[in-house]
A and B are shown apart, each in its own frame.
Chain A
Amino acid sequence: MGDSQYSFSLTTFSPSGKLVQIEHALTAVGSGQTSLGIKASNGVVIATEKKLPSILVDEESVQKIQHLTPNIGVVYSGMGPDFRVLVRKSRKQAEQYNRLYKEPIPVTQLVRETATVMQEFTQSGGVRPFGVSLLVAGYDDKGPQLYQVDPSGSYFSWKASAMGKNVSNAKTFLEKRYTEDMELDDAIHTAILTLKEGFEGEISSKNIEIGKIGADKIFRVLTPAEIDDYLAEVE
């Protein structure tokens, strides 16, 4: 990767033991649009702001929440193009696992492989770390799961988490509102309320995106009509 002049790793340690490039990558994530995820007792919901740069952008063509497999979905905060690359790689890894074992990939395995890719980009020649943090939501034999993956390649399982611009307010709100026995619909309401907390302007089905997965193990992105229904319930 890279020609000989850039075959060294650009991510190098600082004297204080930090990898400064990764810190900067996290800053890029922190200035991205807010996204969050909540794990309920019977499913997982992920949601994000979808603020488009201009009213002329066709909002239906923009989809921030993506499928990795029929039962695993992902959302991000940070740089959109980096997210696209990661989604492509993760989908390929999931399908390779499926081809080998004829079994859908467990959520933890896919998260681990994606995190490994992100870590590789912090220790290879001529590349920079990814400028995204991912929230991976899935439902497999171990039940509903929510993982956050950072540009460094570290991943954590969360009951509820947020990333992006409004992360501290959102997390405080989630800490207060989260309960262990929450059901999926309650979680969707809580997700909407959390997004509303730091939202600039009027929240509507055109400027947020919500994805959910329940015990049916099928990840779905909600249609604008469905989002409108939930928004009405929240009012």
Chain B
Amino acid sequence: MSIFEYNGSAVVAMVGKNCFAIASDRRLGVQLQTIATDFQRISKIHDRVFIGLSGLATDVQTLYQRLVFRHKLYQLREERDMKPETFASLVSAIIYEKRFGPYLCQPVIAGLGEDDKPFICTMDSIGAKELAKDFVVSGTASESLYGACEAMYKPDMEAEELFETISQALLSSVDRDCLSGWGGHVYVVTPTEIKERILKGRMD
């Protein structure tokens, strides 16, 4: 079994009209055994930038801590929050530093940039950025997620509709993947508020 499939994960982000949504599953497993059902894969960097990390759980946590550290220093030095594009470039650089002994995770970055324009991107475990205009996926359920998102996505959805779409896409995809699931964790971010919701799906 590949090391990327050791803990199991599913992360997806979608672009809406002046808003974005980022969602993940909640299972933490050790191969076939489920250890936790409330594992946090998505973290807030600041009010307008979120990062979801799939892959090996220890690297998910460590990489997140390193990124928060860098962002806090940036905030103190530059007296401003990082733009999502800038943050994505930083993540790519930090990951590439470990090119020959990489962090075994694939980040999904979502944020609101200038003029409230939503920004999403994903990258592989050695920092190859992939920008998308509609959705990005990552994790053991990524193949199912690609299919579900392609079918369900439409552009310029408002926050509520976006929430419905991303939730359906996530739940139906993790149902086809034995290593991810046990509910969902969805953040829908608009210029004025961050809505965090827990989904109840098939608890297996």
Contacts and interface: CB of A to CB of B under 8 A. Distances in A.
Interface of A: 99-103, 106, 108-109, 112
Contacts of B86: 101-103
**7 tightest A-B contacts by CB?**
A102-B89, A101-B86, A103-B86, A100-B93, A101-B89, A101-B90, A100-B90
A109 B86 CA distance: 15
B77 A103 contact: no
Interface residues of B, number: 8
A113 to B, nearest CB: 10
Given A101-B86, A102-B86, A109-B77, 14 more contacts: A99-B93, A100-B89, A100-B90, A100-B93, A101-B89, A101-B90, A102-B85, A102-B89, A103-B83, A103-B85, A103-B86, A106-B78, A108-B78, A112-B77
A108 B86 CA distance: 18
Interface string B120-133: 00000000000000
Interface SS majority for chain B: helix
Contacts of A101: 86, 89-90
Contacts of A103: 83, 85-86, 89
A99 B90 CA distance: 9
Nearest to A108: B78
19 contacts: A99-B93, A100-B89, A100-B90, A100-B93, A101-B86, A101-B89, A101-B90, A102-B85, A102-B86, A102-B89, A103-B83, A103-B85, A103-B86, A103-B89, A106-B78, A108-B78, A109-B77, A109-B78, A112-B77
Contacts of B77: 109, 112
Interface string B87-123: 0011001000000000000000000000000000000
Nearest to A99: B93
A210 B78 CA distance: 30
Nearest to B77: A109
A157 B90 CA distance: 29
Q: Which of A101, A103, A108, A112 has the most CB of B within 10 A?
A: A101
B36 to A, nearest CB: 35
Interface in B39-94: 77-78, 83, 85-86, 89-90, 93
A64 B89 CA distance: 35
Nearest to B94: A100
Contacts of A106: 78
Nearest to A112: B77
A197 to B, nearest CB: 37
A106 B74 CA distance: 12
B106 to A, nearest CB: 20
B35 to A, nearest CB: 36
Nearest to A105: B78
A234 B136 CA distance: 60
Contacts of A112: 77
Contacts of B85: 102-103
B201 to A, nearest CB: 38
Contacts of B83: 103
A99 to B, nearest CB: 8
A103 B89 CA distance: 9
A99 B92 CA distance: 11
A49 B78 CA distance: 34
